[in-house]
């Protein structure tokens, strides 16, 4: 995607107007976005933009959770990378994104989301965290690494406009 298209999408998402070929209406931060391309994005757009969450993005779409995670939040998402989804048995992802499995998929994905913005420093102080599906994930620190259930946080504190993403190396499964 070109810088101009990213800027136009950013401006559109902020409900700004594009007038003519080079004139933008809005605060200076919108112009900065056009020039530099550094505006913070919501959780979904950040994950999609990273390029390593294609499976997660497809699953969110299949479960109908995209608009929720683009909402005000704040949310904390323990986001499995494409590599994490690759660890699942063959055919698992395909069966979960089928329309008949929407409730199961929604339960799994909402097990990766905690209400509120919980940064790594805060996560390390927890023993568990209640997810939006109603169940709790176990939280522990092992050899200086944060574990969420059996998954390890590999990248923490990816800041978003509506919360934070912590990348994990495995898909969490509700009990």
- Judge if 22 and 97 occupy the same domain: no
Residue 40's pLDDT band, with cuts at 50, 70 and 90, is confident
Task: For residue 17, give the H/E element and its range.
Answer: strand 17-19
| Residue 138, C-beta contacts closer than 8 angstroms, at least 6 positions apart | 127, 128, 147, 148, 149
pLDDT of residue 15: 32
**C-alpha angle 55/96/106, rounded to 5°?**
85
pLDDT of residue 132: 94
- Judge if 31 and 107 occupy the same domain: no
Structural domain containing residue 97: 43-168
- Judge if 124 and 150 occupy the same domain: yes
Q: What is the pTM of this model?
A: 0.76
- Judge if 31 and 51 occupy the same domain: no
* Residue 174 falls inside a structural domain: no
pLDDT tens, residue by residue, 86-104: 999 988 898 898 888 899 9
* Residue 53 falls inside a structural domain: yes
- Judge if 14 and 93 occupy the same domain: no
d(CA 59, CA 53): 10
């Amino acid at each position: 995607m070109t810088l101009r298209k990213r800027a136009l999408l950013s401006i559109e998402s902020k409900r700004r107007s594009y007038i003519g070929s080079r004139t933008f209406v809005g605060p200076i931060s919108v112009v900065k976005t056009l020039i530099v391309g550094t505006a913070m994005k919501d959780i979904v757009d950040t994950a999609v933009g990273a390029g390593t969450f294609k499976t997660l993005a497809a699953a969110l779409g299949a479960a109908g959770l995209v608009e929720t995670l683009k909402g005000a939040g704040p949310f904390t998402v323990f986001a499995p990378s494409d590599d994490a989804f690759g660890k699942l048995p063959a055919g698992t992802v395909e069966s979960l994104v089928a329309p008949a499995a929407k409730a199961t998929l929604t339960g799994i994905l909402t097990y990766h989301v905690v209400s509120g913005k919980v940064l790594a420093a805060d996560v390390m102080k927890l023993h568990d965290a209640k997810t939006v599906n109603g169940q709790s994930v176990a939280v522990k620190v092992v050899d200086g690494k944060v574990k969420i259930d059996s998954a390890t946080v590999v990248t923490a504190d990816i800041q978003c406009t509506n919360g934070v993403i912590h990348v994990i190396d495995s898909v969490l499964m509700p009990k």
